[in-house]
Amino acid sequence: MDAFAAIAERRIREALEAGAFKDLPGAGRPLDFSRDRRVPRELRAVYRVLENAGVPAPGSGAAPRGAQLAGVASDHQGRGSAEGEGA
């Protein structure tokens, strides 16, 4: 086990012992993957984590949040310099 995995395992164990995972919503019930039928079984949990983090699904055509923010920033910079030239 590499150092990163050992640290992760230790922190998970400490959180379990501290009760950090008690009384979570849906505890003891299986996850509902019915809407993910086209996603291979081994990738379903990964897709769910990414979805919960706001990352759009591959092939959805939606830009990731970071790309959206970068576009807004570049639009703002373009307008700011154009406004400054006329003053």
CA distance to 23, 42, 49, 79, per residue, from 63 (Å): 35, 24, 17, 22
Q: Check whether 4 has a pLDDT greater than 50.
A: yes
pTM beyond 0.95: no
Q: Provide the pLDDT confidence category of residue 79 given band limits of 50, 70 and 90.
A: low
What are 6-64's pLDDT values in tens digits? 999 999 999 999 999 888 888 888 877 677 788 888 888 888 888 888 887 666 666 55
pLDDT recorded at residue 75: 57
In angstroms, the CA 22 to CA 30 distance is 16
